[in-house]
Each structure stands twice: as C-alpha cells, then as structure tokens.
C-alpha cells in the first residue's frame, strides 16, 4: 500500500507499507501529518486524549459505535487486556480511567478497518498496562493490521516499531527502526530526540572508543559493558 504523508505546508512524502506492520511517526509537524492521514486514508484514530462516551454501559457503548463486529476479535482483545465478559455489563460512570482507555480501544477495533493509528500509544498507562498494549499491538500485527503509532517518548517508538518515519522540515527518512535509530549522527541531523539505548552505544564509541553490542534490551547492553570493564 502506498501512503502519501502531508504536513500543513502541503509538503508530500511517499512511503510504501505492507500489511502486518507497526510504523512510528516522529515529526516536527506531527499533528498536521496525523490529521491528514486520518482524512486521506480513514485510519481508525485511537487517542486517549479524545474519549467521549454516550452509552450507559460498555455493551451499549460498543453497539452504538458499531452494531456488527467481529466477536472473536473483541474476545481476543478482552483477554489480552486482562478483561472478561463481565466488562460488558459495567456502567461507564463506574469505569476506572484505564478501563475507559480500554473501552475506547475496544469500540474502535470493533470497526471493520485494519488501518489503525494509536496516538501517544502509552499515554496515561503504567508499566503493567503498557505491556498489555504492546501485546495487543503484536496481536493486531499478526492479524495483518497496518498500525501507526506516535508517542512523546522516543524510547517507546524505538522499542515498538518495525519501521519509522522521521520528518523535520526538509529532512525525511523512512526506514527500518533498528537501522534508523542506531544511526545517531543521522538523528542529530534531524534535531529529533535520540533513544537512550542508542545514545549509550553512541557515547561509548565516541568518547571511549568502545563498540557495544547493539540491542533494544538494556540488559544486553549492560552485559556488554561489563565485558569491557
């Protein structure tokens, strides 16, 4: 699938995406790019900052959103999020904030659309619930969804995405996340935030001439550091 990204200056960049992929977006003009994606390609927009409910309970809310949905998928999502059928009977007013986030996700995924954008993907979630969302993303990826994610924390994008978009003014790059975020010199050129783990390996090489093993897991990097001590 070909996607044209547009910012609010109507600059356009083309990317080719496959089904079953997680793509991160990091850009200086991010909100405009996201809004244009939603309008141009009708991505489902899952945004924890924009949650409005009109149903009395969870079941009513989902049915108001979409009366015909894939029950098997919804049950899988419930299970991944650590919920069960009793969740459908809960009144909206009695839901915790995290449960409202989960309801927002579930009702959006009830729509017959395999193009999804998670805006600020981990926003308002603690570590345990972040792990559930990560598992959900992997499940949707396995179901051949095209998943776009944004976050104010570049370390989140670095760990979750298969491919990444970097766009700052005239500088544009779309590449595998591992390749892109391991090239710190390029990230500095873009004047965008550098992931902590990439920064550690970069500083070790630049300041100490120590070439550390490249990894997204901090435990692997720590083990490699001890080898050089």
CATH of the domain at 91: 3.40.50.300
Both structure tokens of 146: 């095209």
Residue 104: domain span: 2-176
Which whole number is the average pLDDT over 189-198? 79
Q: Is 22 helix (H, G, I), strand (E, B) or coil?
A: strand
44's CB contacts (< 8 A; 6+ apart) are: 108, 109, 111, 113, 115, 116, 117
In a domain, 84, yes or no: yes
pLDDT at position 150 is: 97
Provide the whole-model pTM: 0.89
DSSP 152: S
User: Is residue 119 exposed (0-12), middle (13-18) or buried (19+ Cβ within 10 Å)?
Assistant: buried
* 57-61, 165-169, 185-189: which is most confident: 57-61
Instruction: Give the DSSP H or E segment for 154.
Output: helix 154-160
Burial 101-115 (b: 16+ CB within 10 A, else e): bbbbbbbbbbeeebb
In a domain, 228, yes or no: no
In a domain, 74, yes or no: yes
2-6/12-16 β-pairing: antiparallel
pLDDT tens string 78-118: 999 999 999 999 999 999 999 999 999 999 999 989 999 99
In a domain, 181, yes or no: no
DSSP string over 198-213? HHHHHHHHHHH---PP
C-alpha pair distances (Å), 70 with each of 12, 54, 105, 212: 35, 22, 14, 46
Banded pLDDT at 62 (limits 50, 70, 90):
very high
| Number of structural domains the chain divides into | 1
In a domain, 35, yes or no: yes
Does 12 score more than 90 pLDDT?
yes
Q: Return phi, psi of residue 33, to 5°.
A: -65, -45
In a domain, 186, yes or no: no
């Amino acid at each position: 699938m070909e996607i044209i990204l547009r910012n609010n200056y109507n600059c356009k960049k083309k990317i080719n995406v496959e089904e079953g992929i997680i793509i991160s977006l990091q850009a200086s003009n991010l909100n405009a790019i996201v809004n244009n994606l939603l309008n141009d390609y009708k991505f489902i927009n899952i945004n924890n900052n924009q949650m409005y409910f009109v149903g009395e309970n969870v079941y009513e809310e989902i049915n108001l959103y979409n009366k015909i949905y894939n029950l098997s998928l919804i049950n899988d999502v419930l299970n991944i999020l650590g919920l069960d059928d009793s969740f459908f009977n809960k009144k909206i007013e009695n839901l915790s904030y995290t449960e409202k986030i989960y309801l927002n996700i579930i009702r959006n995924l009830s729509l017959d659309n395999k193009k999804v954008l998670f805006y600020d993907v981990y926003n308002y979630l603690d570590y345990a619930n972040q792990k559930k969302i990560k598992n959900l993303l992997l499940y949707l990826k396995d179901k051949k969804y095209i998943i776009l994610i944004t976050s104010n924390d570049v370390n989140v994008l670095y760990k979750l995405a298969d491919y990444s978009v970097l766009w700052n003014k005239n500088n544009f790059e779309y590449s595998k996340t591992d390749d892109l975020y391991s090239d710190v010199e390029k990230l500095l050129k873009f004047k965008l935030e550098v992931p902590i783990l990439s920064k550690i390996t970069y500083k070790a090489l630049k300041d100490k001439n120590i070439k550390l093993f490249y990894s997204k897991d901090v435990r692997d990097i720590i083990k490699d550091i001890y080898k050089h001590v």
